[in-house]
Structure 1
């Protein structure tokens, strides 16, 4: 017989046995094993169990350590739900027509091997909520009802408990793992073979990779994998405790593993750690960083991102000869993608039959850029990069350095790997640049141009959100910025970075000591960051000397001279802007930087449009006066002589 038939007949045999007890209103004499009611020999029973597994009733007894009496109580509750004739039997056995339902007193009177301890709150029946007792005048006369999920479990129907449905989601499928991650999954599998209740922390790599790794370890053990975001555990402990207790029961019935995922656990970190440490069923806490709560006794497994070789091999497996090695190298060195992302990008691009071989590399680059785009809306702002070299007016020496930077980003794969200049450790390969100069001289615009020409996202870091007065929080925020940016190799712009990267002070108190730790951590991360990190400052002398030594390039943005200002004015008006009588040499008399020039040009254009006229010198004069008021500077006659 199949398992469903085997399970049904096994339950029916126990229902008949308990029914006989109710009909006699007393325990049956010591009876043979339940399987003999199926007309099976002991050998046949063992064989049937070996072929199809133990029936659900036996599994419950083994899982929760139930005594024969407690198993009989479950059968009593099941019979009441499944057979309408049990109500009068209960009333007759208790000698009370009104008491036509099971009670602890009835169970103690009629079922074999009774013991009162079965109904204490600490005993399995009530602790695991296998039964529920209603309100009665006494405990012994309270109604006894089988839990709904347990009833269905006895019938062979195993499903997620209803109170948990809004908390956890099944992880049904997983992507294949890279060799390094397969080794880690096998290690986790061996841990569960030794200790099926092993809980632990998995960190590093990315969320999808950590999830795939755990899923692959679960499958050979027969575990189902369920996922819950760490945010669901933010409720007060009194609210969460009953739900967590239900999960513990669920995990033993299925069996199952719970994967709690969180990118920034914050204050919940220690509370989650305590829950995981004290839980009797396997739970995996998935987080990018190693937890730092005190007293942690959990095992920590650290998953690394795909190596460059593993990423390259995957691209080659998916594309074969269709993708030039040079293109693969550029993608691998720029974007830190996991297996599922590379597979998804490849399948999407391959599905577009209109792409020519020449258009394939830029199409893949754009797809990788979108796929790896970071989510740092609370700490950074992604800027829309549209500027080109034509929008940037700088001396030739500064332009030459900026183009050197582009070459370093584009040729990293060739120089560091093919030519072996990256060394064996791979440390210190980050490209950090300092843009120093007065406000408005084009520092942010230059970052815009570099990101646009490189085809990368540009993120301006919000220092007011990063720097925290609380000890250790600035370091955590910086870690989030760099970890997220590593995936895409985005260009990071720390605008007006003086506040964060100032000279390290002498240690006078604990605040100074932690401030220095933050600077040291920043230096370390910038040195290891694979992308381009740009710092801007108006006061280069305010930066720490040790910090400047680790900067690869320092680009000084000078205040523009008259010829440069004339060129900035000339490039401030697009071809479609209607102008009349503009004199760029006279406009260059105005002693302001490029940022102010663009403000004046834009404000003047609004004035001209409002008057329904082409943009003229008089509109620029009005806009210049407004800009100088903002700058709290006097507008001299020499600067505007001959404008109107």
Structure 2
């Protein structure tokens, strides 16, 4: 025990009592060893000191129902940690008296010192089903001689138990890195409060044989509810099942046993968080069930969906949802100190999906960034930017953020297509009014708006997405399908789930370029690869149903899209190659205003059958050619650049 020992709490009554116990215990052992060396073994029996009942050793004995022998083993192992010189001297004396003993604490020596040769408890004390091992009270180390029998292996107290005996109420070392204290200070919405009452009533009928299964898409809301539920009768811990599953088998076993011990000693509630990603080739169901069976006291499990667990506990399934847009709007207004009538406030509560605690934090950041006399409108606008920036941190490197500077004036489309784009923007902007006030919300579904842009390359699909993002004051994220789709089973869904979970917080538009590569038609299942490819499509359909934002999909081949997916699309916009009048406008906009373009015949250029993307490429090349030659922009230079573009496209230049 080197890294486990913490500084003694010398001002603690617990520590002083424990020192008195171990001091007396070690003295008894030392004298018993001397008697053994003198041949007086038949008259000496180990006895617990009078001060034993004043310490956590007695609490340990009672809460874990330890036998006298088991409690004695723990006491002697603790004495070895506190008084190693005296205990090692006693072990050495015992070795001189009897060569079958060892110079350290081992099962054989512990049996002799504790005088428990024939009791039933002694037979199983050091086995896996015994309390010493089951609750991770001791560890049996390796002897220098690998052929030594198990009875002579070194025995020592575990790190977490030693910390407990020293009076430290912190997290045991076996659980560090996978568990943390679960706070109970989070704010709950009205619907979450109702779930809390229901869950508390269920556990009040017997927490030892009952539990709660929390499920939903938002882990933060589930943690908030669990914090209030499990901390009602004491402290609670939040254990990350996925992080524990990634550890070695020995570490997993130690953590499971420690959880059972801590729950009994401290009456702690425990939240088993199964929302993380399981290591490749594993499932979290088995480990979650193992932890659930071993835990004592109040227990809650949180997962994305109800887990099929076989346990003696009666689990109450409860779906936890985020605060409604109306609840978020009211909390934003209170936190910002503004009226709920602010126009942008309705969109703030609808576009972003945040917990009440998160709203309070972001509102405080927004107010600190403004002067005290800032208007209500300025506060709401600042809050919008603060929430939007916060979501960028969540997205991180999951997707590429596209700079959006294009406006409606940069978009050259037929009137009908332009009207469709403006209607898409109107749907995003007025969802709250239509769904809440007019009661047109779809039961059980999200507020997703999914649109499909199809057509040849360079016809304005990506530019249209940029214009929507700029108009709605949202970030545009391009999903790189080449890095998202994986050949490994389950990895594609895992990658997409991270993207959707982050985007669901709001403030962004998802752009899937070449969407037919993922959203394509599901084929006939001929082998396992076909089956898992179809599973990917099914997962995408499900997530798009519950997504809270705008998803834009672009494809060159609309006919390749899956029929089931097409039914879930609210808008389909077919982009075609621009006509001469549109091409002339595109040519005029392609050159910067600061550049003299009077020598260019835009009407003649409009007869070239090229797309808007090609026109921008030609204009860029022409400007570089003019600058490099030191000439003014002319029709001849633009025509030369156009011929280069034709060759690139593989067309005949006339």
TM-score computed with the length of structure 2 as normaliser: 0.79
Match status 1:16 vs 2:28? no
- Aligned counterparts, 1:212-291, within 5 A: 212-228=224-240, 230-231=242-243, 233-235=245-247, 237=249, 240-242=252-254, 245=257, 249=261, 252-254=264-266, 256=268, 261=273, 265=277, 270-279=282-291, 280-281=294-295, 286-290=302-306
Gaps of 5+ in 2: 1-9, 36-40
Contact 1:228/1:258 (CA < 8 Å) preserved in 2? no
Give the Cα separation in 2 of the matches to 1:400 and 1:232. Answer: 53
- Aligned counterparts, 1:78-93, within 5 A: 78-83=78-83, 85=86, 88=89
Cα deviation for residue 474 of structure 1 reads 6.5
Contact 1:234/1:268 (CA < 8 Å) preserved in 2? no
Match status 1:361 vs 2:380? yes
> Which residue of structure 1 lines up, in the alignment, with residue 127 of structure 2?
121
> Which residue of structure 1 lines up, in the alignment, with residue 588 of structure 2?
570
- Aligned counterparts, 1:67-82, within 5 A: 67-82=67-82
Give the Cα separation in 1 of the matches to 2:526 and 2:176. Answer: 54
Gaps of 5+ in 1: 39-44, 46-53, 637-644
> Judging changes above 3 Å, is the alpha-carbon distance between structure 1 residues 623 and 96 closer, same or farther for their aligned structure 2 residues?
farther
Q: Which of residues 600, 614, 638 in structure 2 aligns to 1:582?
A: 600
Match status 1:204 vs 2:216? yes
1:98-125 CA-partner distances (Å, limit 9, x unpaired): 9775554544344355544265333333
1:434-481 CA-partner distances (Å, limit 9, x unpaired): 334332221221111011111112233444556677888777766665
Match status 1:485 vs 2:492? no
Instruction: Give the stretch that moved more between structures: 232-241 or 62-71.
Output: 232-241
Contact 1:119/1:125 (CA < 8 Å) preserved in 2? yes
1:369-414 CA-partner distances (Å, limit 9, x unpaired): 2233485678743322111112111122322332232222222223
> Which residue of structure 2 lines up, in the alignment, with residue 410 of structure 1?
429
Contact 1:15/1:76 (CA < 8 Å) preserved in 2? no
Cα deviation for residue 596 of structure 1 reads 0.5
Contact 2:77/2:157 (CA < 8 Å) preserved in 1? yes
Contact 2:236/2:271 (CA < 8 Å) preserved in 1? no
> Which residue of structure 1 lines up, in the alignment, with residue 613 of structure 2?
595
- Aligned counterparts, 1:184-583, within 5 A: 184-188=195-199, 194-196=206-208, 202-228=214-240, 230-231=242-243, 233-235=245-247, 237=249, 240-242=252-254, 245=257, 249=261, 252-254=264-266, 256=268, 261=273, 265=277, 270-279=282-291, 280-281=294-295, 286-290=302-306, 299=315, 300-322=317-339, 324-354=341-371, 355-373=374-392, 380-418=399-437, 420-422=438-440, 425=443, 430-464=448-482, 482-488=500-506, 490-501=508-519, 526=544, 529-543=547-561, 551-577=569-595, 579=597, 581-583=599-601
Cα deviation for residue 316 of structure 1 reads 3.5
SS, match of residue 283 in structure 2: helix
> Which residue of structure 1 lines up, in the alignment, with residue 3 of structure 2?
none
Give the Cα separation in 1 of the matches to 2:424 and 2:536. Answer: 27
> Which residue of structure 1 lines up, in the alignment, with residue 644 of structure 2?
626
Instruction: Give the stretch that moved more between structures: 430-439 or 10-19.
Output: 10-19
Give the Cα separation in 2 of the matches to 1:468 and 1:88. Answer: 62
TM-score computed with the length of structure 1 as normaliser: 0.80
Cα deviation for residue 319 of structure 1 reads 3.5
1:262-311 CA-partner distances (Å, limit 9, x unpaired): 656255585322112123126765443455x7979984543212122322
Q: Which of residues 179, 186, 195 in structure 2 aligns to 1:175?
A: 186
Give the Cα separation in 1 of the matches to 2:248 and 2:29. Answer: 46
Give the Cα separation in 1 of the matches to 2:113 and 2:528. Answer: 72
Cα deviation for residue 515 of structure 1 reads 7.0
Q: Pairwise CA RMSD of aligned residues?
A: 4.3
Say how many residue pairs are matched. 618
> Judging changes above 3 Å, is the alpha-carbon distance between structure 1 residues 28 and 76 closer, same or farther for their aligned structure 2 residues?
farther
Give the Cα separation in 2 of the matches to 1:148 and 1:358. Answer: 56
SS, match of residue 220 in structure 1: coil
> Judging changes above 3 Å, is the alpha-carbon distance between structure 1 residues 616 and 318 closer, same or farther for their aligned structure 2 residues?
same
Instruction: Give the stretch that moved more between structures: 75-84 or 6-15.
Output: 6-15
Give the Cα separation in 1 of the matches to 2:18 and 2:566. Answer: 78
Contact 2:179/2:237 (CA < 8 Å) preserved in 1? no
> Judging changes above 3 Å, is the alpha-carbon distance between structure 1 residues 266 and 391 closer, same or farther for their aligned structure 2 residues?
farther
> Judging changes above 3 Å, is the alpha-carbon distance between structure 1 residues 272 and 580 closer, same or farther for their aligned structure 2 residues?
same
Give the Cα separation in 2 of the matches to 1:504 and 1:479. Answer: 20
Give the Cα separation in 2 of the matches to 1:226 and 1:294. Answer: 19
Give the Cα separation in 2 of the matches to 1:598 and 1:140. Answer: 82
Instruction: Give the stretch that moved more between structures: 595-604 or 129-138.
Output: 129-138
SS, match of residue 318 in structure 1: helix
SS, match of residue 369 in structure 2: coil
> Judging changes above 3 Å, is the alpha-carbon distance between structure 1 residues 180 and 428 closer, same or farther for their aligned structure 2 residues?
closer
Contact 1:74/1:131 (CA < 8 Å) preserved in 2? no
1:203-232 CA-partner distances (Å, limit 9, x unpaired): 314232222222222322323314447245
Give the Cα separation in 2 of the matches to 1:3 and 1:611. Answer: 85
> Judging changes above 3 Å, is the alpha-carbon distance between structure 1 residues 270 and 548 closer, same or farther for their aligned structure 2 residues?
closer
Instruction: Give the stretch that moved more between structures: 86-95 or 396-405.
Output: 86-95
Contact 2:234/2:269 (CA < 8 Å) preserved in 1? no
